[in-house]
């Protein structure tokens, strides 16, 4: 946020007595003050915070989802389980977490392209994709994905044919959606690990296709 925006936000606060606090406007300082206070009160353990940051920076992310997709591509029985009971199939690979116990996998095909959004905020399948990128949480994406998904897809560089159904999933409840993209041509002889390296986060949200080998993502 710009300094001007900060000043405007603060000016606004001072007209709201429910929120009148002489606290620093810099979020870094405010977070530091909040953490110090909560640690002193025994409400927060700083080592637990370290563990959480490490989890999302280093252990959970779209590589998890890519492994799920690659296995579904090479193993029809696994794909069937994934489509019928995604939480159980994803847990087979060792991934479980808070925003993920109600996972649903949705499959792209020649006649349907799926795209996931949370118009109300930021719901996202954490265990398979990690925390959402800023654009996914932005007003621009949340507002347009449901009314103009083809425009959004064009902006991301995805070519979707006229006769394909674009099917948008607005995550309004506790279900979390993972798109199984189409396996690109030219990968018939690839193994699971090679395929997983090809699968992108954007394809699993549905704003892009998985690029064919040698094609730019």
Partner 1 sequence: MNGVHDMGGMQDMGPIRYEQDEPVFHAAWEGRIYGINASLRARGEWNLDAWRHQIELLPPADYLQMTYYERWLRINEQLVVKHGLATPAELAAGSANPGSAKATPALTQGMTQDMTHAGVARHLGRGIPSSHDPKTPPHFQVGQTVRARNIHPIGHTRLPRYARGKVGAIVRDHGVYTFPDTNAHFQGEKRQHVYSVRFPARELWGGQAPPQDSVHLDMWDDYLERV
From 122, 138, 143, 171, active-site residue? 122
CA atoms within 13 A on the CB side of 133: 9
Please select the residue that binds partner 1; options are 99, 195, 198, 200, rule is CB under 8 A.
99
Please choose, out of 66-74, 166-174, 179-187, 189-197, the segment that lies near partner 1 by the rule CB under 8 A: 166-174
Residue from 92, 155, 194, 215 that binds partner 1 (CB under 8 A)?
155
Interaction between residue 200 and partner 1 (CB under 8 A):
no
Instruction: Establish if 92 lies at the interface with partner 1 (CB under 8 A).
Output: no
Sequence-ordered list of residues with C-beta below 8 angstroms from that of 100, at least 6 positions apart, any chain: 87, 90, 125, 126, 127, 128, 176
User: Does residue number 75 form part of the binding site for partner 1 (CB under 8 A)?
Assistant: no
Catalytic site includes residue 143: no
Strands 176-180, 112-117: pairing kind: unpaired
- Scanning 66-74, 77-85, 149-157, 183-191 for contacts with partner 1 by CB under 8 A, the matching segment is 149-157
3-state secondary structure of 117: strand
Q: How many CB atoms lie within 10 A of CB 66?
A: 23
Please give the residues from 101 up to 130 whose contact with partner 1 meets the rule CB under 8 A: 101-102, 104, 117, 119-122, 127, 130
Tell which residue, 211, 208, 195, 188, has the closest CA to residue 113: 208
Q: Which stretch binds partner 1 (CB under 8 A): 31-39, 66-74, 178-186, 189-197?
A: 31-39
- Catalytic-residue membership of 36: no
For residue 116, give the 3-state DSSP assignment: strand
- Asked whether position 63 contacts partner 1 by CB under 8 A, the answer is no
Query: Cβ of residue 74: shortest distance to partner 1, in angstroms?
Result: 26
Least separation in angstroms between residue 40's CB and partner 1 is 5
Distance of CA 91 to the CA centre of its chain: 18
Between CA 96 and CA 68 the distance in angstroms is 13
Give the active site residues. Answer: 118, 121-123
């Amino acid at each position: 946020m710009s300094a001007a925006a900060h000043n405007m936000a603060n000016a606004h606060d001072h007209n709201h007595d429910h929120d009148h606090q002489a606290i620093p406007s810099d979020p870094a300082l405010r977070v530091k003050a909040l953490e110090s206070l909560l640690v002193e009160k025994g409400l927060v353990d700083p080592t637990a915070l370290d563990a959480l940051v490490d989890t999302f920076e280093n252990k959970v992310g779209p590589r998890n989802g890519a492994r799920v997709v690659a296995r579904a591509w090479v193993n029809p029985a696994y794909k069937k389980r994934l489509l019928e009971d995604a939480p159980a199939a994803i847990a087979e690979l060792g991934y479980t977490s808070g925003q993920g116990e109600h996972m649903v996998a949705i499959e792209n095909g020649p006649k349907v392209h799926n795209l996931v959004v949370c118009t109300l905020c930021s719901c996202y399948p954490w265990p398979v994709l990690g925390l959402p990128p800023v654009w996914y949480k932005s007003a621009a994406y949340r507002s347009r994905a449901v009314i103009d998904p083809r425009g959004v897809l064009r902006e991301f560089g995805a070519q979707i044919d006229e006769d394909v159904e674009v099917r948008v999933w607005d995550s309004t409840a506790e279900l979390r959606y993972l798109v199984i993209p189409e396996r690109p041509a030219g990968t018939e002889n690839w193994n699971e690990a090679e395929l997983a390296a090809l699968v992108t986060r954007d394809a699993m949200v549905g704003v892009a296709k998985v690029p064919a080998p040698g094609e730019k993502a």
